[in-house]
Each structure stands twice: as C-alpha cells, then as structure tokens.
Amino acid sequence: MTAIAIIAHIPLASALHDCATHVYGNIENFVFFDIAPDVNPDQKVNEIAGQLSNMVGNNNAVLVLADLGGATPANIGARAVQVLQGSGVKAHILSGTNACMILNAIRYRDKPLEELCESVFEGGKKGMKCIDLAKDQ
C-alpha cells in the first residue's frame, strides 16, 4: 500500500488532510507537511525524507502531492522524493493537488504506483467543473 504525503503552503496541507480524514476517517500512512514562509528547505527535506522513509516497508511506495509546481513546497517535496529514490524507495511527486486528487490517491493506493498516479490525475480532472448557475435558471 502506497504511503501518501501532502506538502503545501501553510495551512493548505493540513486542510486537505482534514478533508480526507473527514471522508475516510483515520488513514494509515497518510501525513501532511505545511510549509511556512520562513522554512529552511534543506532541514525540511531531511525531515520529510526521514519521516517518509520510516513509513514505508520493503514493498511500499510513496506518493507526494504538492500544491503548486515550482513553488517552495513542491521543490522541497521533489528533493525529498529524490532522497527516497536514492535509497531504493519507489516515490513520485505530483503537483496541482486538489481534494479530488487526494481522495483518489487514498481510494486507489493499493494500485501499482504508476497506475495510482494515473488515477490521481483522472480524479483531479473529473473534479474540475464549470458550475454556471445562470444557465440553470
């Protein structure tokens, strides 16, 4: 089963984590990292990589979901993923995270990592809709 981590600007990671636990209840191997504006990136990379490394077993993988690609949280997450991959852990990071992506990550976390990533992206796309109430009137 894939471990899932959310890494985002403070307080988005904790809010998305709360949303998922509201839907699914207590979730094993599901963590979040709110990134403050004054974070020390090197220290945070080591903290995140260490915590995620401790979560995974021999056959597990890690999926990191970040809010904005190219922003500090995603860059920290990408570096943590590199550390994990360097130690032999299957790990990926996806950015542009929304609630649907997180719910799909949890729902399909028993799939192989590549298939899981596809399911997460599909969930994110399906969750985006243009809701025009004026057309309904």
Domain ranges, ordered by start, for the chain: 3-136
The CATH number of 3-136 is 3.40.50.510
Whole-structure pTM value: 0.93
pLDDT in tens, 61-120: 999 999 999 999 999 999 999 999 999 999 999 999 999 999 999 999 999 999 999 999
Q: Which two tokens stand for residue 9?
A: 């600007």
What are the residues whose beta carbons fall under 8 Å from the beta carbon of 95, sequence distance 6 or more?
A: 65, 66, 67, 68, 69, 70, 74
